[in-house]
Chain A
Amino acid sequence: MHRRDTDVTRGDGLSGRWLSVEDLGRLDFFKAGKSAAKFRQRLNATFELTPGDNEPWLKAAVWREYQPADVICEAGTYGSTAFLIVEGKATAALPERVAPRPVPGRTPRSLARLLRTFGRRTHAAHGPADVVAVGELSAYASLSCDRAPLPVTLGPGDVFGVDTCINFYPREATVRAEERCLVVEMLRSVLDTIRLAGAAADAVHAAYEAAAIRNQLSLSALFRDLTGEQLDRLAQRAELLMNDSDLVHNDVIYAEGSRADALYLVRSGTIKLSQRKAGGEVILGYLGRGTAFGFEGLLPGRQSLVLVLHSASHPGTFPDTEIREAITLGRSAGCEVRFPKEARAVSRRHCRLEVRGDDVVLRDLDSDNGTMLNGEQIREAIVVPGDTITLVDYTFEVRRVVQDATTAPPPTRVATATGLDNFEVVRIATADVRRLAGENTRFLGSAKAAQAVGVAASQRPPSAQGLVDALVELNLYNSQNVLLIDLDRCTRCDECVKACATTHGGVARFTRDGPRLGHYLVTMACRSCTDPKCMIGCPVGSIRRKDSLEIHIEDWCIGCERCATQCPFGNINMVELAAAAPRPAAPVLRATVCDLCAGLDGPSCVYACPHDAAIRVNPGAFLSPEDTR
């Protein structure tokens, strides 16, 4: 038996056998004395209940029973619930290949029309493949894994589905019952309470973090060439960073000029890459889920010369010394290559090797017995690999060797990475990546290619900066489907609004008003945000996503106005419905939001516009030069 997430929430809240506050508190998962009491206390506060109230509170958690081979949740589907296994075992498996679902209702060629208005977005002939449209899936990441992923076994006490419940992205894994399973399925309101309640919270967070890192690495095409053992090793050493992590300061993940000591994968949210130039900040790009960034110095850009002592009379006396900036040879304590005190024929500061641009120069420092290069005494000369340097009876050979990737110091950042709104990124130390590159040549190739992409991104000339700034100012980077109205074509006939109202029982789901982007009106219609704040905190889970990106508000909405208040754009309206008995004096409120006319052939607003003024676009495509629509 297969249950789809859309079947879960039917009728008045979650259908099934409800759990009360007391029921949850009695579960082994929460049994830790104080944590159970704290949990009940928090739940009571969340749902404004009187302690001891045993009513199924707002139907936000239910029991579910699954038989062997039943699918509990399926990869690629949307949902709004998390699960806790109480009894039995299940297997979570990442899919081999899942095609990302397109955002519905996009107007064809609308992007081309907007481009003509604002001019070309970039002058670069080839854009960086890894900087993709916000909300789209990176070529280096999600859902394109060629390798059969290893399944994970889940048992009693394991919580899964947290990512979908919190971040509203599609389910990453298919979870199937291995034996008879008793599961608690819960809405976010319950999950949030669990995450704040003591010992249980730690367990949930730890499980979530581990799964998030493991899944993100497994699904990233950048790491597809690693073996399972290498992936596990990497996952254990990686970290999950969020807005309030210690390594993040004021949402800045790393600053321009700081040491490039880690690579990052975007797990959720949007990351802005920017550089400081004369005149202000230049935005290089906005990165969405699945994108990798922070490639500076991932691998050595070129091979380094290493000075190697090659003397038959003094083997092992001098370690191989890398020529980096400058090294001095002599008997003095400050010399990088220090000769023994007994070598009195060698001057205290005998000679010096200096890196000048692309050359390495050998300079004699007025030594007593001179410095020989290939048998000739010199004062200053350029050395090349293969040359022999002789100081009295000490002979050194200049050799070019491949630098040890794990010991090379990281360069500095060429851009600042800042998280916009809520984000999660997986941080992988550069040293770990370099170590794997040394072990796995296929991964080395992928990493080099990715590094080249990252370098190209940082060197891309800024263009259409005004448009990018406008998109950020209007918060459009977070939007996936925006209704724009071309005001130069629109006759203000309101046919779009009438069509919307006709489709939705007389109540229009958007307002033909809002901020402007050039001569386009950014209407107050739901934007299908990648990070929808409206969904946070709904006590009954009535606001959710179903099979695709449009947001729905089900008819069990209790009219608490929380989603309308939290939407930063005012795109959710509260509508008064006729009050039902037995309290006819009290107005009944319901939240309404644009649902992209789900079930119809595209949104009615665009369909009904007689002047070709109403269009729907993905604003994030402006920020990706890969978009050829």
Chain B
Amino acid sequence: MRINADHTRWAIGSAAITAAATGLYAYAGSASPTAPSGGSWLGLFFGISGASCMVLAGLLSARKQVPAWRIGSALVWMKMHVWLGGLAVPLILFHSGFRWGGALTTTVMVLFYVVIASGIVGLILQQFVPALMTARVPFETVRSQIDYVIDGLAVEAYELVAGIAGTIPEAVEEQRRLAAEEQLQKERPAHWKQIVRQRPASEPHAVAAELRAVYLSEVRPYVREGTGGKVPDLRRLMIEAPECRGKLERLQQLCEESRQLRLQARLHALLHHWLFVHAPLSFALFVLTALHVYFALQY
């Protein structure tokens, strides 16, 4: 989420609580020769407070399982997740007395820092990547539909080339999809998503052979897989066949669209894959924290 002026009250509240906790810790520290330990009353207070913040922040994952429930808007829950999660840092630090402790507590602390750090990374990514995606991917679509849309682009590319050069037997997948569309339209004549397709040229154009070669070696692999590294350049063909310029320009645009969709996939991964670290480690953190509480109470 974007950190902006809407977070002012949360920021002020967190800062105030942090300041109060710091003041309390500093006072307790100055009043005794050693810093308060985790087992002291103050340490326990910080520990319980910090753990409570962690639990409340962690409830966001439960909230996401019931998106339609009216238990507070998702925006408020996300703010709570961010700010209480951040508030847990000083509280846990004060609880630990800035010490690592034994193997379990060290592991808990390491996990804690990694979870916090991954969360901060996610937060930073969310400040910039959405706007980057908006600017760089005007042809953006729904992420789960990228493969389907690229398939559609490939079919349209085939349709354009076949409209100039005639049927291309090597384009098997494209022809299969066109056949399926035709079958659907026969079964559902009132179908609201009908697409009107062009027929392949019955008399191939003069540039048919060259176009077919460019299509099979460059355009088709690029649209489908991004093979070749750069968008195929069709300007020479546009000069040789000016009457086909419109179709060739559209073909060029299809290549550009497929490039953008692959870029979208990468940016989408950048925007979300940090969760593969943050989420499972958070779960592990909760488990180990529970163990830490159990053992701390036992001993």
Contact = CB atoms under 8 A, between A and B. Distances in A.
B238 interface: no
B73 interface: yes
A607 B74 contact: yes
Interface string A596-629: 0000110010011111100000000000000000
Interface in B122-166: 126, 129-131, 133-134, 138, 140-143, 145
Nearest to B67: A499
B186 to A, nearest CB: 15
Interface in A258-295: none
Interface in A49-63: none
A502 interface: yes
A564 interface: yes
Interface string A487-509: 11111111100110011000000
Interface string A503-521: 1000000011100100100
A565 B138 contact: no
B65 to A, nearest CB: 10
B205 interface: no
Main secondary structure of the interface of A (DSSP, over half): loop
A604 B130 contact: no
Nearest to A607: B73
A320 B34 CA distance: 111
A561 interface: yes
B2 interface: yes
Nearest to B73: A607
B67 A604 contact: yes
B70 A565 contact: no
Contacts of A574: 192
B142 A488 contact: no
Contact of A610 (B74, B129, B130): B74
Given A516-B138, A612-B6, A495 B67 contact: yes
Interface string B65-77: 0111010011101
A608 B134 contact: no
B177 interface: no
Contacts of A452: none
Contact of A502 (B67, B129, B145, B192): B67
Contact of A492 (B67, B74, B271): B271
Nearest to A519: B134
A612 B145 CA distance: 24
A140 B141 CA distance: 44
Contacts of B64: 495
Interface in A573-615: 574, 600-601, 604, 607-612
B236 interface: no
B135 to A, nearest CB: 8
B269 to A, nearest CB: 11
B190 interface: yes
Contacts of B26: none
Contacts of B140: 487
A173 to B, nearest CB: 36
A488 B129 CA distance: 8
A562 B192 CA distance: 8
B292 interface: no
Contact of B75 (A499, A516, A610): A610
A511 B141 CA distance: 10
B130 A491 contact: yes
A560 interface: yes
A574 B77 CA distance: 34
B78 interface: yes
Nearest to A573: B192
Contacts of B268: 492
A512 B75 CA distance: 18
Given A499-B67, A574-B192, A609 B271 contact: no
Contacts of A494: 142-143
B272 interface: yes
B190 A491 contact: no
A513 B138 CA distance: 11
A612 B75 contact: yes
Contact of A565 (B6, B133, B134, B190): B190
Given A487-B133, A611-B1, A560 B75 contact: no
B75 A611 contact: yes
A493 B126 CA distance: 11
Nearest to B60: A610
Contacts of B188: 561
B143 to A, nearest CB: 6
Contacts of B9: none
A434 B188 CA distance: 59
B68 A495 contact: no
23 contacts: A487-B133, A488-B130, A488-B131, A490-B130, A491-B130, A492-B271, A499-B68, A499-B74, A503-B68, A513-B141, A519-B134, A574-B192, A601-B70, A604-B67, A607-B73, A607-B74, A608-B67, A608-B73, A610-B74, A611-B126, A612-B1, A612-B2, A612-B6
Interface of A: 487-495, 498-499, 502-503, 511-513, 516, 519, 560-562, 564-565, 572, 574, 600-601, 604, 607-612
Given A495-B64, A562-B190, 6 more contacts: A492-B133, A493-B272, A499-B74, A560-B190, A561-B190, A610-B74
- 8 smallest A-B Cβ distances: which pairs? A499-B67, A610-B78, A564-B192, A487-B134, A610-B74, A608-B67, A502-B68, A488-B131
Interface of B: 1-2, 6, 64, 66-68, 70, 73-75, 77-78, 126, 129-131, 133-134, 138, 140-143, 145, 188, 190-192, 268, 271-272
